[in-house]
Chain A
Amino acid sequence: MKNIKYIIILSIGLLVFGSCEDNVLNLEDPGSPTDATFFRTEAQLEVALTGIYEQINYVNAVPFPQLLDHTTDYAFNRGNVGGTIVATTGGLTSTESLVNGFWNNFYTGVQRANNLLTNMDKAADASDPNRFEQIKAEALFLRSLFYSYLTELYGDVPFRTEVTSLEELEIVARTPKAEIVASIISDLQEAAAILPPTQPATERGRASANAANALISRIALYNEDYELAESAALKVMNSPDTPSLYPDYEGLFTDAGVGSSEVLFDLSYINGTKTHGLSQRQGSRFGGWCQLVPAQQTVDSYETINGLPIDEDPEYDPANPFENRDPRLAATIALPNRVWTGHIIQQHSDSIATWRIEDGVKVERVFNPNSANPAGRTIVDPYDGTEYVTGGANRFTAFSGYFWKKFSDAPRLLGSLSGGPSPLQSEQTIYLIRYAEVLLNYAEAKIEAGSIDGSVLNALNSVRERAYANSAVPFPAVSTTDQAELRKIVRRERKVEFADEGLRLFDIKRWRIAEKVLNTTLLGGPANGFSKIGDLGFVPNIDDDGHIDYTGAPTQPRVELGNLDYRELEERTFDAGKHYLWPIPQAEIDATEKVVTQNPGY
Chain B
Amino acid sequence: MKQAIVCFLFTVFGFSQISAQITVSGTVNDEQGVPIPGVNIVEKGTTNGIVADFDGNFSIEVAEDATLVFSSIGYGTIEKSVNNQTTINATMSEEASLLDEVVVVGYGTQKAVNLTGSVETVKADEIAKQPVAQASQALAGLVPGLTATQSSGQPGADGAAIRIRGVGTLGNGAKNNPLILVDGIPDDINGLDPSDIESISVLKDASASAIYGSRAANGVILITTKRGKEGKISTTYNTYVGIQSVAQNLKFMDALGYMEAFNSAEPGAFSEETLNQYRSGNGVGTEALPDTDWVDLLFSSAAIQQYHSLSIRGGSEKLKTASSISFTDQEGNIANFDFQRYNGRFNIDYALSKKLDVAFDLNFRREVKSQPARLQNLTRSAYRLQPLFIAFNDDGTYGSGFGGSNPIALANSSAKDETISNYFRALAKVTYRPFNNFSVSATYAPQFFDRDRDDFRAGYTYYEGSGGPAITTVGGGVGESSLFKETFTTFQDNFNAVANWGKEFGDHNVSVLGGYEFLKFNSEIWTASRRGFVLDEFRGLDNGLPDTQLNSGSSTLNGLESLFGRFNYSYKDKYLLEANVRKDASSRFAKGYRSATFPSFSLGWVVSEENFLKDSETLNFLKFRASWGQLGNQFIFSANQTDNNGDTVQGADGSAVAQEVNFPYTSLFGLGNANAVIGGTPVVGGAQTVLANSQLQWETGETQNIGVDAKFLNSRLSFTGEYYVRKTKDILLGVTIPTSVGLDAPVQNAGEVWNTGYDISIGWNDMIGEDFRYGINLNYSGFDNEIKDLGGLDQLPPGNTINKVGEEIGAIYGLKVEGLYQESDFDTDGNLNSALPSPGFGAIQAGDIKYADISGPDGIPDGAITNDDRTIIGSNITTENWGLELFSAYKGLDLSISLLGAGGRDVVLEGDAGWAFYNAGKIQEWQGDYWTPDNTNAEYPRLTPGSSHSNWRVNETWMHDASYVRLRNVTLGYKLPRDFTDKFNIANARIYLSGQNLATWDNMPDGIDPLTPQFSTGSFYPVTKVFTMGLNVTF
Q: Given the complex of chains A and B, what is the CA–CA distance between A253 and B681 in angstroms?
A: 20
- Knowing A50-B685, A367-B469, the reply to whether A389 touches B287 (Cβ < 8 A) is yes
Q: How far is the CB of A153 from chain B (nearest CB, A)?
A: 13
- Knowing A51-B687, A111-B741, A367-B464, the reply to whether A561 touches B516 (Cβ < 8 A) is no
**In the complex, are the beta carbons of A165 and B692 less than 8 A apart?**
yes
Q: Given the complex of chains A and B, what is the CA–CA distance between A367 and B662 in angstroms?
A: 55
Other-chain residue from A78, A112, A557, A573 in contact with B674 (beta carbon distance below 8 A)? A112
Q: Given the complex of chains A and B, what is the CA–CA distance between A79 and B607 in angstroms?
A: 70
B806 interfacial by beta-carbon distance below 8 Å: no
- Knowing A205-B676, A273-B675, the reply to whether A374 touches B559 (Cβ < 8 A) is no
Q: How far is the CB of B958 from chain A (nearest CB, A)?
A: 18
- Knowing A34-B666, A35-B669, A424-B478, the reply to whether A111 touches B742 (Cβ < 8 A) is yes
A361 interfacial by beta-carbon distance below 8 Å: no
A-side contacts of B402, CB under 8 Å:
393
B768 interfacial by beta-carbon distance below 8 Å: no
Other-chain residue from A51, A166, A425 in contact with B479 (beta carbon distance below 8 A)? A425
B400 interfacial by beta-carbon distance below 8 Å: yes
**In the complex, are the beta carbons of B738 and A172 less than 8 A apart?**
yes
B-side contacts of A596, CB under 8 Å:
738, 740
Q: Given the complex of chains A and B, what is the CA–CA distance between A30 and B979 in angstroms?
A: 66
Comparing A52-60, A67-75, A326-334, A435-443, the segment that makes contact with chain B is: A52-60
Q: Given the complex of chains A and B, what is the CA–CA distance between A532 and B296 in angstroms?
A: 43
Comparing A16-24, A317-325, A445-453, A498-506, the segment that makes contact with chain B is: A16-24
**In the complex, are the beta carbons of B669 and A33 less than 8 A apart?**
yes
Other-chain residue from B475, B516, B554, B680 in contact with A17 (beta carbon distance below 8 A)? B516
A122 interfacial by beta-carbon distance below 8 Å: no
Category for how many chain B residues contact A: 35 or more
Q: Given the complex of chains A and B, what is the CA–CA distance between A591 and B560 in angstroms?
A: 34
A126 interfacial by beta-carbon distance below 8 Å: no
Q: Given the complex of chains A and B, what is the CA–CA distance between A79 and B945 in angstroms?
A: 11
**In the complex, are the beta carbons of B290 and A376 less than 8 A apart?**
yes
B480 interfacial by beta-carbon distance below 8 Å: yes
**In the complex, are the beta carbons of A204 and B520 less than 8 A apart?**
no
B586 interfacial by beta-carbon distance below 8 Å: yes
B736 interfacial by beta-carbon distance below 8 Å: yes
**In the complex, are the beta carbons of B269 and A112 less than 8 A apart?**
no
A164 interfacial by beta-carbon distance below 8 Å: yes
List which B474-499 residues lie within 8 A (CB) of chain A: 474-475, 478-481, 495, 497, 499
B-side contacts of A218, CB under 8 Å:
none
Q: Given the complex of chains A and B, what is the CA–CA distance between A392 and B464 in angstroms?
A: 12
Other-chain residue from A28, A166, A393, A561 in contact with B735 (beta carbon distance below 8 A)? A166
Other-chain residue from A27, A100, A107, A171 in contact with B558 (beta carbon distance below 8 A)? A27
A134 interfacial by beta-carbon distance below 8 Å: no
- Knowing A27-B558, A27-B587, the reply to whether A591 touches B743 (Cβ < 8 A) is no
List which A249-281 residues lie within 8 A (CB) of chain B: 259, 268-274
Other-chain residue from B274, B468, B594, B668 in contact with A29 (beta carbon distance below 8 A)? B668
- Knowing A50-B674, A169-B741, A560-B269, the reply to whether A421 touches B480 (Cβ < 8 A) is yes
A-side contacts of B480, CB under 8 Å:
416, 419-422
**In the complex, are the beta carbons of B520 and A23 less than 8 A apart?**
yes
Comparing B61-69, B301-309, B840-848, the segment that makes contact with chain A is: B840-848
A472 interfacial by beta-carbon distance below 8 Å: no
Q: Given the complex of chains A and B, what is the CA–CA distance between A36 and B669 in angstroms?
A: 10
A157 interfacial by beta-carbon distance below 8 Å: yes
**In the complex, are the beta carbons of B559 and A24 less than 8 A apart?**
yes
| Count of CB-CB pairs between chains A and B under 8 Å | 341
**In the complex, are the beta carbons of A91 and B840 less than 8 A apart?**
yes
List which A372-400 residues lie within 8 A (CB) of chain B: 374-378, 388-389, 391-393, 395-396
**In the complex, are the beta carbons of B289 and A376 less than 8 A apart?**
yes
| CB nearest neighbor in A for B552 | A272
Comparing A82-90, A230-238, A486-494, the segment that makes contact with chain B is: A82-90
Q: How far is the CB of A310 from chain B (nearest CB, A)?
A: 29
B532 interfacial by beta-carbon distance below 8 Å: yes
| CB nearest neighbor in B for A594 | B857
Comparing A6-14, A179-187, A294-302, A455-463, the segment that makes contact with chain B is: A6-14
A-side contacts of B799, CB under 8 Å:
95
A-side contacts of B748, CB under 8 Å:
166
Other-chain residue from B267, B390, B739, B950 in contact with A591 (beta carbon distance below 8 A)? B739
Comparing B99-107, B434-442, B568-576, B700-708, the segment that makes contact with chain A is: B434-442
**In the complex, are the beta carbons of B403 and A393 less than 8 A apart?**
yes
| CB nearest neighbor in B for A387 | B465
Category for how many chain A residues contact B: 35 or more
**In the complex, are the beta carbons of B685 and A369 less than 8 A apart?**
no
Contact with A along B652-684 (1 / 0, CB 8 A): 000000000011001111110111111111111
**In the complex, are the beta carbons of B559 and A391 less than 8 A apart?**
no
Q: How far is the CB of B381 from chain A (nearest CB, A)?
A: 13
**In the complex, are the beta carbons of A273 and B678 less than 8 A apart?**
no
**In the complex, are the beta carbons of A205 and B677 less than 8 A apart?**
yes
B797 interfacial by beta-carbon distance below 8 Å: yes
- Knowing A85-B947, A274-B676, A559-B268, the reply to whether A285 touches B403 (Cβ < 8 A) is yes
Q: How far is the CB of A203 from chain B (nearest CB, A)?
A: 5
B290, B389, B479 pick with most chain A CB within 10 angstroms: B479
**In the complex, are the beta carbons of A160 and B741 less than 8 A apart?**
yes
Other-chain residue from A53, A89, A420 in contact with B676 (beta carbon distance below 8 A)? A53
| CB nearest neighbor in A for B262 | A395
Q: How far is the CB of B407 from chain A (nearest CB, A)?
A: 14
A337 interfacial by beta-carbon distance below 8 Å: no
**In the complex, are the beta carbons of A91 and B269 less than 8 A apart?**
no
A-side contacts of B678, CB under 8 Å:
50, 53, 203-206, 268
**In the complex, are the beta carbons of A111 and B743 less than 8 A apart?**
yes
A314 interfacial by beta-carbon distance below 8 Å: no
Q: Given the complex of chains A and B, what is the CA–CA distance between A571 and B844 in angstroms?
A: 11
**In the complex, are the beta carbons of A171 and B532 less than 8 A apart?**
no
- Knowing A34-B668, A375-B274, A389-B287, the reply to whether A166 touches B947 (Cβ < 8 A) is no
B427 interfacial by beta-carbon distance below 8 Å: no
**In the complex, are the beta carbons of B685 and A51 less than 8 A apart?**
yes
A-side contacts of B532, CB under 8 Å:
419, 421
A-side contacts of B559, CB under 8 Å:
23-25, 27
**In the complex, are the beta carbons of B671 and A47 less than 8 A apart?**
yes
**In the complex, are the beta carbons of B434 and A6 less than 8 A apart?**
yes
A-side contacts of B399, CB under 8 Å:
391
A407 interfacial by beta-carbon distance below 8 Å: no
**In the complex, are the beta carbons of B674 and A54 less than 8 A apart?**
yes
B-side contacts of A35, CB under 8 Å:
666-667, 669, 688
**In the complex, are the beta carbons of B867 and A586 less than 8 A apart?**
yes
**In the complex, are the beta carbons of B686 and A164 less than 8 A apart?**
no
| CB nearest neighbor in B for A46 | B683
- Knowing A27-B557, A54-B674, the reply to whether A107 touches B739 (Cβ < 8 A) is yes
**In the complex, are the beta carbons of B388 and A24 less than 8 A apart?**
no
**In the complex, are the beta carbons of A108 and B867 less than 8 A apart?**
no
Q: How far is the CB of A47 from chain B (nearest CB, A)?
A: 4
| CB nearest neighbor in B for A26 | B587
A38 interfacial by beta-carbon distance below 8 Å: yes
List which B254-304 residues lie within 8 A (CB) of chain A: 255, 266-271, 274, 277, 287-290
B563, B669, B688, B842 pick with most chain A CB within 10 angstroms: B669
| CB nearest neighbor in A for B496 | A17
A110 interfacial by beta-carbon distance below 8 Å: yes
B556 interfacial by beta-carbon distance below 8 Å: yes
A-side contacts of B270, CB under 8 Å:
374, 560
- Knowing A13-B497, A93-B867, the reply to whether A392 touches B668 (Cβ < 8 A) is no
Q: How far is the CB of B242 from chain A (nearest CB, A)?
A: 39
Question: 7 shortest A-B CB distances, which residue pairs?
Answer: A422-B479, A111-B742, A50-B685, A392-B388, A24-B559, A51-B674, A51-B687
> Can you name 12 A-B pairs with beta carbons within 8 Å?
A18-B561, A24-B559, A53-B676, A86-B842, A86-B948, A111-B741, A157-B740, A160-B740, A205-B678, A376-B277, A419-B480, A419-B532
Given contacts A111-B742, A375-B255, A376-B274, 10 further A-B contacts (CB under 8 A): A26-B591, A52-B687, A86-B948, A165-B692, A270-B677, A369-B403, A396-B920, A422-B479, A558-B266, A559-B267
